[in-house]
Amino acid sequence: MPLSYPTLPGDVDHLIADDHAVVERQFQHLEAGRGDRRVLVDQVAFELALHADAEERVLYPAMAEAGETHEAEEGRDEHQEAKELLVTLNNSDPGEPEFEDALSRLIASIRHHVAEEEGEFLPRFRQAVGPERMAELGKEFLAAKRAAPTFAHPNAPSGETGHKLLDAGAKAVDMVRDKATGRKKHLATDPSGALDPQAQRIVDAFAAMEPQPFEILTPDQARRQPTPADAVLRVLEEDGKSTEPEPVDKVENMTIDGPGGRLGVRVYWPKDAGDDPLPIVLWIHGGGWVLFSVGTYDASCRGIANRTGAIVVSPEYRRAPEYVFPAAHDDVLATYRWIRDNADGLGGDGSRIAIGGESVGGTMAAATSLQLAAAGEPLPVAQVLVYPLTTGEQFGESMVDAADARPLNRPLLSWMAMHAFEGVADRATDPRVDLLSVPAEPLAGMPPTLVITDERDPLRDQGEEFARHLEQAGVAVTATRYDGVMHEFFGAAAVLDKAAQAQRQAAEHLRDNFRSPAAAR
């Protein structure tokens, strides 16, 4: 569960608790006997190696400076025990007595460490140093994880100076070891056993491209990593199928006037459109306001265009941290107004405009509808929210049972938020993000809405809760959860049956409302 006291996503105690949540969920899979036992333990070992190194290099020296020397030393002692057990686990196989004994002891040791750290050490430390220092240490903590060795080294010094002197060499050796043993090819997969075979194949393909954890990288580094869209192409290649994009009538990149200057938009015209003015869909890509681009979500836009017979417009909105909140939201709102004012020139029907998006694209779709309503402007005739973020809080059981999910896990959510909202006051409570705080009266005017969620996703519960809020406000809403799939599944229709089904459902919702446009809204 989240910490019992308020934190911000980039605070060191928040980041530490996220790491704890991931490892605890992996322990639960192991105890329940589900998933791939070897891969789960390899991932636990990797997570704990980075986490322990960063605590020893950043947190414990800061605790000692704040007068918590005893607590820091106790933490190092507990890490030492865990490192020794991780060596045993690495050198044995599941089912062997030494493996199972070491695993049981590791689980008990880490749970004791977490309870003590989250319940006693971290709250006292925050009180001693204050929130600004916790934010500074959060940045240092992530930097330390980037530099950390990827295996446990119980014989290496655990002090700050020892880490600074030896970590670079140990990491270089560990990276060779990761490559030689093949461990690196499954560190980014989901070994929980919760995904259906098609979805599992996609996350396995993603992991085989050996991405580093997005959640410890700088934004620039993270943007150079493979994406879920690349994993879909890998699966198509393995099957000997074409990797060419789904054909549409045409695609054109344009620029429009945006709040921050020239704003790129990509426009898709569907196959077999005919000569009559077409409905238009504003489709907004995801990536936590920080990652990805229109190109990453190209398959979704093509699928929506062809399945609805509508023109699809997707904005290349400004991303954080270069442009923090609400820059992206402002760009999306400007794009909607541009579509409305220029529908004829696109060959579109300005009375039949819908909006939708994936992940924070879904967040921005709903926020745009609310902003239009508040301004007294015509609303979209329909909206589609695909696994949207609807609150800045760590909401619901899915933050626990999907803390370890891939490609989106709880640490990555915090990483995105710390970059998207850095330096912005009241970021988490802004109604454009905290949609769950919006009262019923403004919600009541929202257009007919389809909310799509998925099982292995920390955002699952908050998306479904927002659907309940819409329903209680009297909005025509449909909420569908797709089990056995993960965040980012929607664009994988070429290799994932449930993605194709979800795209058909989204298209049907849009077509139904295009036939009965609520132009007077």
Catalytic residues, by residue number, are 359, 457, 487
Map tokens 């802004």 to a residue. Answer: 430
Q: Residues 26, 43: contact at Cβ < 8 Å? A: yes
CB 58 within 8 A of CB 137: yes
Give the torsion sign (CA, 407, 408, 411, 415).
Answer: positive
Closest CA to 273 of 242, 300, 247: 247
What tokens were used for 63? 């605790």
Tell me how far apart the alpha carbons of residues 191 and 495 are, in angstroms, rounded to a whole number.
20
Of the candidates 103, 110, 67, the one whose C-alpha atom is nearest the C-alpha of residue 85 is 103
**255, 292, 299, 433, 469 from 230: Cα distances, Å:** 26, 12, 11, 29, 35
Task: State the burial class of residue 321 (Cβ atoms within 10 Å of its Cβ: 0-12, 13-18, 19+).
Answer: middle
Burial of residue 490 (number of CB atoms within 10 Å: 0-12, 13-18, 19+): buried
Q: List helix spans (H) across 7-68.
A: 12-32, 37-54, 60-65
Residue 247 makes CB contacts below 8 A (sequence gap 6+) with 271, 302
Q: What whole-number distance in Å separates Cα of residue 183 and Cα of residue 186?
A: 6
**Residue 385's beta-bridge partner residues?**
357, 451
Q: Which residue has the tokens 């929506």?
A: 304
Burial letters 442-481, b for 16+ CB under 10 A, else e: ebebbbbbbbbbbbbbbbbbbbbbbbebbbebebebbbbb
Report the alpha-carbon distance of residue 405 to residue 487 in Å, rounded.
8
Q: Tokens for 114?
A: 């977490």
For the chain, the first-to-last Cα distance in angstroms comes to: 41
**Helix, strand or coil, per DSSP, at residue 224:** coil
Contact 256, 233 (CB under 8 A): no
Residue count (the chain): 521
Residue in the structure block whose two tokens are 């140093």: 129
Which 3 state secondary structure label does DSSP give 440? Answer: helix
CB atoms within 10 A of CB 353: 26
Residue 227 φ then ψ, to 5°? -120, 165
